[in-house]
Copies of this chain bind each other. A is one copy, B any other.
Amino acid sequence: MEAAERRATVLKAVVEEYVRTAQPVASQTVTDSRDLGVSSATVRNDMTQLEREGFLAQPHTSAGRIPTDQGYRYFVDHFTSAGGLPVGQRRAVADFFATTHRALEDLLHETSQLLAKLTSHAAVVVGPDADAVRVRSAQLVAIEPGTVLAVVVLGNGAVEREVLRSELEGDQLARASRTFDEAIRGGTLAPVTESTSTGDRAVDALVTDAVRAVTTRARHVSDHLYVGGVSRLAAEQDAFATTATTARLLEMLEEQVVVVSLVRDLLDHGVHVSIGSENDVDELRDCSIVLAPYQVEGALAGTVGVLGPTRMDYAQALAAVAAVSQQLGRLLLPSVS
């Protein structure tokens, strides 16, 4: 084995050991657990080299090495081939998606919990950007005297609805419904400004109302974040500097919008794993994010992800995220959930 190659193997070993034990890894530990065919002294030399290059760090002089963010990055880029999930977990995922059948929101929520369970980390599921979702059909339905329900079916099978007040009935309502449908069908739910005119004031008013309500709501829903396994964050405390860090993390997840835009942003740049300081957000300095988009009928429908400490089993997380996103996309296929 060449020297450079061996150094890479040493790095790999250090990452794997550190992920497993959460303890700084000693040269001896590496030679004991791996069959490198060299002595610990040689590994020590390699380690100093790796430290000079920025892949490893020492918490203090007389301690073992731990990976730096750069070290994790190298590990992820070079040693995490798209491995499969262990059979047990693969079964769990398949079972979950086979037996579940719920409304879309519930499904996404429970998916986040599944992912959290699989990886033992917090998990997030992000819906598609409102601008990217097409409207398949829309209509207005009278549900009570004075009350109208706007119903919109979206490309990903979601059915959104919004309650409106209106006295319209019968023909007028039917006309409004048609106009409403024409106004937004086929388009996205990005805010529409153009106002259609049917010549009937009351009808126009209702349609305008409906369009506004639905687009507003869509924006709200699309920015929604489903979070599963927040308790894991508390359990992982020791990975974070202070308990205040954990609190801030939870806060951020509750605020949703930061995380949603972060996730979208990362994926826009084709990033699937973001490690520690690679995250621009301060709260995530000690965290890594592993993402996978899921698709419905070829179109990007959303993202599933895992949020854990940088000291994370990346291979496992990647496998889990891939499996879940794939199955989720498949389940959403039959157009209506």
Chain B's closest residue to A229 (CB) is B254
- Copies of this chain present in the complex amount to 2
Q: Are A151 and B159 in contact (CB under 8 A)?
A: no
Q: Are B144 and A141 in contact (CB under 8 A)?
A: no
Choose from B161, B220, B251 the contact partner of A231 (Cβ within 8 Å). B251
A101 to chain B, nearest CB (A): 10
Q: Tell me the A216-236 residues at the B interface (CB within 8 Å).
A: 217, 220, 228-235
Instruction: Assess whether A313 is interfacial by the CB under 8 Å rule.
Output: no
Q: Does A51 contact B (CB under 8 A)?
A: no
Q: Is the CB of B153 within 8 A of A159?
A: no
Instruction: Judge whether A262 is part of the interface by a CB distance below 8 angstroms.
Output: no
Determine whether A137 belongs to the interface, using a CB cutoff of 8 Å to chain B.
Answer: yes
Task: From the candidates B163, B238, B250, name the one contacting A336 in the complex (CB within 8 A).
Answer: B163
A257 within 8 A of B: no
A253 to chain B, nearest CB (A): 8
Instruction: Decide if A92 is an interface residue (CB 8 Å cutoff).
Output: no
Given A161-B159, A163-B103: A234 in contact with B246 (beta carbons within 8 A): yes
B228 touches A235 (CB 8 A): no
**Residue of B with least CB distance to A145:** B137
Report yes or no: B234 in contact with A243, Cβ–Cβ below 8 A: yes
CA distance A250 to B231 in the complex (A): 5
In the complex, which residues 118-158 of chain A have their Cβ closer than 8 Å to any Cβ of chain B? 136-137, 139, 141, 143-144, 147, 149, 151, 153
Could you jot down 6 A-B contacts, CB within 8 Å? A103-B163, A163-B337, A232-B247, A233-B250, A235-B244, A238-B243
